[in-house]
Amino acid sequence: MMTVRLIAHTPEPEKVVAAAAKLCYSDAHIEDLLDGLTEEKTAKFLTMLSDLGHASPIEHASFTFGIEGVSRTLLAQITRHRIASFSVQSQRYVRLDDFRYVVPPEIEAIPEAKAAFLASMEETPGAIWTWPTSWKRAARLMAEGMPEKQARAKAGKQANEDARFVLPNACETKMVVTMNARSLQNFFHLRCCSRAQWEIRQLAEEMFRLVYPVAPHIFAKSGPACVSGPCPEGKMCCGKTAEVRAKYAAYKEEAGV
């Protein structure tokens, strides 16, 4: 099951962004930047930035998420968002004898498809970890003069490296992801859309729900593009703009800010 936590963020992110904006539009000195930045004035600066389309100041606020129970398929998609930092559980150093996997909801809903999918997943661990290559490699390394303990450790690591070629994209992974607010806005714009793949859309929606209460003015217009403007998908539009806007309005109401 997908688990998402906001584990760290810039302290007072909106105030930091407002200070950066203040520097851009006034003759304030560095030591004076935070002076007078009340909650009301901070909100005013952020609204101004949004109205002007001046996005660079919000890059000074960053958010770090702990993410678990997502597939390697999702990993391939999220790392396309290049202005972000990723730390991902290694399949080279972490042996996945009994790996967990993500079942797509469309497969989950069809008993025959689910049974075939689960059977395929259950066959994979045996195919990987019963390979006789590990002890054969260790024997070869010992024959070359390597001590037994070192040889077994190296052979096990090499077996893990090769096993990655067999592990499916459904295999679960864990990661820590850090994005600045501007990158997050772009991420939400693209991945909260109903045309995004279901898993990364679910992740994006949960990330939005976590950051909005922390920085409601920064993320006031965040979500899929249709939340704050026309749908950019043209003929591929889902046709549910009103429903999507109501959904994000409910998220914001739920946050209570």
Among the listed residues 3, 20, 10, the one whose alpha carbon sits nearest the alpha carbon of residue 179:
10
Cα dihedral sign, 161-166-171-177: positive
- Identified catalytic residue from 72, 152, 182, 191: 191
Among the listed residues 121, 122, 128, the one whose alpha carbon sits nearest the alpha carbon of residue 161:
128
In the annotation, is 191 catalytic? yes
Measured at the alpha carbon of residue 180, what is the angle toward residues 177 and 182, in degrees to the nearest 5?
130
Residue 219 in tokens? 């993320």
Sheet holding 172-180, edge to edge: 3-9, 62-71, 172-180, 85-88
Separation in Å, CA 153 to CA 91, 164, 167? 16, 17, 21
- What is the rounded distance in angstroms from the CA atom of residue 190 to the CA atom of residue 194? 9
List the catalytic residues: 191
